[in-house]
Structure 1
Amino acid sequence: MIPDQFKDLVRQTLFQPQEAARVLIEMRLPRQGLWMALALLSILNSIVYSLSLQLSPPTDPSASLMPPAFHSPILFAVFLFGALAITVIALHYVGQGLGGAPGSMDDILVLLTWLQVLRLLVQLGVLVLVLVAPVLGALAVIVAAVWGIYILISFVDAAHRFGNMFKAAGVILLSLVAMAVGLSALLSLVGVARMGGG
């Protein structure tokens, strides 16, 4: 992808996410390459995130209660990639259950991978803003989060060919619930295994 195409796709994603999704899906990028790109982006995002913590450590006392994974770039990269992989799977199967188009796994994968590219750009931009104008940096984080939700809903809608943003939002909410339940069950099993081993 040449720089002009990249810039056009970024602009399209921000203001015409449905059209951007169609462009990305029609590229038909190989699944293995997309998983590798997602893993690389997880590493890059974790490095930028860790750098932002070093340059501008959180002043809130509750920050000390964050899991260790959020303080270690390696652990955070593994955690982020795992979370993204589970998100791809959850959005695929939940969407299928609600009547989504068949074969949406690759479509969701390419769209979430592209979202991680944008996330990396946003993190780099926020990193600079926080150093120059902390208030603007905080505002940029809020705007990016809200806009990111809208883009994600649009992308899920395009991947499943719903033609209904509310249905796409429902898929995201149900996927979050399914992921939370699955994670709770996994943590419970780990706790039981530790008790049994003790």
Structure 2
Amino acid sequence: MNFDDFIGLLRLTFRNPAQAVRALQALKLPFAARWMALMVTVILSTLLMILVIKAKPDSVMPIIAGVVGQPIAYVILQLLGIAIASWLLTNLGRGVGGKADFPDVLLVITWIEVLLLSAQVVQSAALMISPLLSSLIGLATTVMIVWAAIQLLRAVQGISNPLVVILGLVASFMVTVFILSIVAAAFGLIPELPAEVHS
């Protein structure tokens, strides 16, 4: 996939999500390549976050700033969370008549992560100009990507009711966060907040 293909798929995602899913599936990426794409995306996202934290330390919450001290742990937690969420979405989808298997759900989730990374790049660039502009871009892109995520998961699962997908996303998110919080606490990966935050 070259840059023009990427832009075309990006546009197609918001114009016709079902066709975008078919285009992703048509790439026929091996399962290992899907994991590799996800890992690269998560690593790039983490590196960009670290750069933003170092450039604008006052613009991020203290708990997010903890990423600087534990980038590898952050990447591992993200990958674990995405794997858990993908597995949950696959099985919850099948429970209500969905047809997608885990590799295809992972492929769609990876593409959603690519969308988030693209939005992160734009938002980070805007932050260097104006925090307000960055916040507005962040809000707009979040709404767009949430909508795209719902439509892409509907398409890959073959589920017509968007409410079912929304409920599945919420349930998967809550379970994933619960599991990750236990893992993070068990391995001491939750950064301590500065004293001024507690006061």
What's the TM-score once normalised by structure 1's chain length? 0.83
Instruction: Name the amino acid aligned to 2:19.
Output: E
Identify the residue that residue 163 of structure 1 maps to in structure 2.
Answer: 160
Q: Distance in 2 between matches of 1:146 and 1:50?
A: 24
Identify the residue that residue 40 of structure 2 maps to in structure 1.
Answer: 40
Instruction: Name the amino acid aligned to 1:5.
Output: D
The reply to whether residue 150 of structure 1 matches residue 142 of structure 2 is no
Q: Distance in 1 between matches of 2:180 and 2:29?
A: 30
Q: CA deviation at 1:135?
A: 1.4
Identify the residue that residue 113 of structure 2 maps to in structure 1.
Answer: 116
Distance 1:82 1:56, change over 3 A: same
The reply to whether residue 50 of structure 1 matches residue 50 of structure 2 is yes
Identity %: 26
Partner secondary structure for residue 25 of structure 2: helix
CA contact (8 A) 2:18 2:156 kept: no
Distance 1:186 1:53, change over 3 A: closer
Cα deviation code 1:107-132 (max 9, x no counterpart):
11111111222222211111111111
Instruction: Name the amino acid aligned to 2:54.
Output: Q
Instruction: Name the amino acid aligned to 1:174.
Output: A
Q: Which has the larger displacement, 159-168 or 14-23?
A: 14-23
CA contact (8 A) 2:34 2:106 kept: yes
The reply to whether residue 97 of structure 1 matches residue 95 of structure 2 is yes
Cα deviation code 1:54-76 (max 9, x no counterpart):
1122357xx33458446532222
Instruction: Name the amino acid aligned to 1:12.
Output: L
Identify the residue that residue 127 of structure 2 maps to in structure 1.
Answer: 130
Instruction: Name the amino acid aligned to 2:116.
Output: R
Distance 1:180 1:115, change over 3 A: closer
CA contact (8 A) 1:156 1:168 kept: yes
Partner secondary structure for residue 112 of structure 2: helix
Unaligned ranges ≥5, structure 2:
189-199
CA contact (8 A) 2:53 2:65 kept: no
Cα deviation code 1:110-163 (max 9, x no counterpart):
111112222222111111111112211110111111111111111111111012
The RMSD of aligned alpha carbons is 2.5
Identify the residue that residue 15 of structure 1 maps to in structure 2.
Answer: 15
Distance 1:45 1:164, change over 3 A: same
Q: Distance in 1 between matches of 2:151 and 2:104?
A: 13
Instruction: Name the amino acid aligned to 2:36.
Output: M
Unaligned ranges ≥5, structure 1:
192-198
